[in-house]
Structure 1
Amino acid sequence: MLRDHRRLLITFADKAAMRDYVTSIVGQRHLPTLYALLDHPADLVDLDLPDRYVVKPTHGSGAVVVVSSDADPNATLPSIDACWAYTHVRPERADRSTLVDISQYWIEQLYGQGPNREWAYGAVPRRILVEEMLVKPNGKIADDYKLFVFHGRCEFVQVDAGRFERRSQDFYRRPWEWLPLSGGLPHSADELQQPECLAEMIEIAERLASDTDFLRVDLYVVDSRILVGELTSYPAGGDSPFHPESFDAEFGQYWTVPRAYLDRDFGETDVC
């Protein structure tokens, strides 16, 4: 992905532009409710928000503040020097002025320009997104289904569950064959059931990835809704090892890197 400089990758990386893309391909019904898209973090102060919501920057990954009454009562907002992280706090702990400071720090950061060279993030307008928190019927954060799509076909599904609790991660070969693969987190203690809507989830992911050679499509199932959380060309920055290592080759066998990417300079970006 270092040499793939199509502008489509900027759209995938931009959490605001991604929403427009999803709407155009599969419809707005497959997106979380948007409460606000802010150019100026100070505007957070006057927003009328529900008790549960999510705040994150549009131009990066791994920085999120989740606000809900289900959070640990002792959890607090992070200090500015530690705020590029996942945080879950209760509404009474989500001081708006502190959220403004955190958001201001976020938009001052140029993300993805380190050793992994996630170049697309550097071209994304830096704004703040406030949207619906996605939860299961018990009020817990919804499980995250990450579908790996190669050349328009979904081959693997990663399931991350229990964020902010006992986190787990499991991998499945399409359609639902569990793999003895670790990406760093423990496997779920209980067998995960195949989602009833898995076929529709795969269809949505494949439609969203139809114009590219690789895309990971992150989906959530909330009640009867299938919602798109993120589109990424750089899962874990492209630097997350699998154990055992043989799964690196198993995933890679489905991806044929287009010759055009191999023949271009790192800094060259397509006009359209």
Structure 2
Amino acid sequence: MLTKVLARVLQSLPKTRTGDYIFSYLLFLRAHRRKPGSGMLLNDYLFRLKTSKEMLSPLRQFTSDKALVKHFVAATVGDKYNIESIAVLESKAEIDAFDFPASCCIKPTHGSGRVILRRDGEPIDKAEIKAWFDLNYYLYKREVNYRYAEPKVIIEPILFGGTKGEDYKFFCFNGKVKLLQVDIGRHHVHTRKYYDGAMNEQDFSMKRPRELGPYELPKNMPEMKAVAEKLSSYFGFVRIDLYSDGDAIYVGEITHCPENACARFIPLEAEQTASDLIFN
């Protein structure tokens, strides 16, 4: 009942920066069971970033779009780090008319967390894809960098044949990699490992369980760090999300407010450890 009441309250808030602040404040309270502070704990910092004018900067808005960000990547580190765009569809009519490849990755350019992986010509739900055009991701979590994003759907190949390659998410501050999150088994049993900027494994996780088994970082990690740092140098804080199979490197997206400032650490006291790594 409380969740339903909170949802109604959140949706009734005005679509203004004041309304965005209250919305984000209530989400933070629910996630962390505390008020956001003024210190340099990661989630507190992200809350301040999310509710600041910085999130409306043209570059943050531009690089939040999964199609437009490829222009930034090409200009900054080179087009070889971009995933091929098979098509960018701009209307529901184009969805109906498009002949989707037998194997492909389908996702909206103007949001996060929604993706369809089509394999071997399996049926796809075009109604679901067309519904993405009605999605305003800003309204979902009040991440204002998405507010004015034009709805589109991007079609890409499935990387590495869908058999290899983890997600490598580089938390960068002032142009330097400070923390690495590795997402393992994302579409199966989703676990995570964390490393500091020198690639020393850490004994905590965030939101997902920590992967306890051995894990070998890819041999091209120095190049991955260099790509992340060059892309991040245009921002104070940002997370650069890369894919790699150990040879090729591709930019997945640029994330400006990881987990919407609402991810809890495992254990909770590890937030101080991670924050010290990022901001010191």
TM-score bin (small chain): 0.7 to 0.9
- The answer to whether the 8 Å contact 2:265/2:271 transfers is yes
Task: Choose from 147, 157, 168 the match for 1:132.
Answer: 157
Larger deviation, residues 53-62 vs 237-246: 237-246
Pair 1:180–1:161, CA change in 2 (3 A): same
- The answer to whether the 8 Å contact 2:219/2:246 transfers is no
What is the count of residue pairs matched by the alignment?
A: 228
Give the aligned partner of residue 93 of structure 1.
123
Q: Please state if 1:102 is matched with 2:132.
A: no
Alignment of 1:28-43 (within 5 A): 28-43=79-94
**C-alpha deviation, 1:189, in angstroms:** 5.0
- In structure 1, what is the Cα distance between the partners aligned to 2:164 and 2:219? 19
Q: Please state if 1:25 is matched with 2:25.
A: no
Give the aligned partner of residue 224 of structure 2.
201
* Aligned Cα root-mean-square deviation (Å): 1.9
Give the aligned partner of residue 106 of structure 2.
55
Task: Choose from 134, 154, 165 the match for 1:142.
Answer: 165
**C-alpha deviation, 1:140, in angstroms:** 2.1
Give the aligned partner of residue 202 of structure 2.
179
- The answer to whether the 8 Å contact 1:216/1:235 transfers is yes
**C-alpha deviation, 1:236, in angstroms:** 1.1
Q: Please state if 1:188 is matched with 2:239.
A: no
- The answer to whether the 8 Å contact 1:26/1:204 transfers is yes
**C-alpha deviation, 1:183, in angstroms:** 1.5
The amino acid of 2:149's aligned partner reads V
Pair 1:9–1:193, CA change in 2 (3 A): same
**C-alpha deviation, 1:209, in angstroms:** 0.7
The amino acid of 2:123's aligned partner reads R
- In structure 2, what is the Cα distance between the partners aligned to 1:55 and 1:13? 17
**C-alpha deviation, 1:47, in angstroms:** 3.4
**C-alpha deviation, 1:135, in angstroms:** 2.8
Give the aligned partner of residue 267 of structure 1.
none
Unaligned segments of structure 2, at least 5 residues: 1-48
- In structure 2, what is the Cα distance between the partners aligned to 1:42 and 1:168? 38
Larger deviation, residues 142-151 vs 48-57: 48-57
- In structure 1, what is the Cα distance between the partners aligned to 2:258 and 2:235? 15
The amino acid of 1:217's aligned partner reads I
- In structure 1, what is the Cα distance between the partners aligned to 2:102 and 2:128? 19
Q: Which structure shows the higher helix fraction? A: 2
Unaligned segments of structure 1, at least 5 residues: 70-90, 257-272
The amino acid of 2:139's aligned partner reads Q
- In structure 2, what is the Cα distance between the partners aligned to 1:9 and 1:227? 19
Give CA-to-partner distance per residue, 1:151-190, whole Å, 9 cap, x none. Answer: 1000111011212222221111122211111223233353
**C-alpha deviation, 1:141, in angstroms:** 5.4
- In structure 2, what is the Cα distance between the partners aligned to 1:176 and 1:118? 30
Give the aligned partner of residue 111 of structure 1.
137
Pair 1:186–1:249, CA change in 2 (3 A): closer
Give the aligned partner of residue 148 of structure 2.
123
- The answer to whether the 8 Å contact 1:213/1:255 transfers is no
Query: Tell me, what secondary structure is at the counterpart of 1:34?
Result: coil
- In structure 2, what is the Cα distance between the partners aligned to 1:67 and 1:189? 31
- In structure 1, what is the Cα distance between the partners aligned to 2:74 and 2:107? 20
- The answer to whether the 8 Å contact 1:144/1:219 transfers is yes
- In structure 2, what is the Cα distance between the partners aligned to 1:244 and 1:161? 19
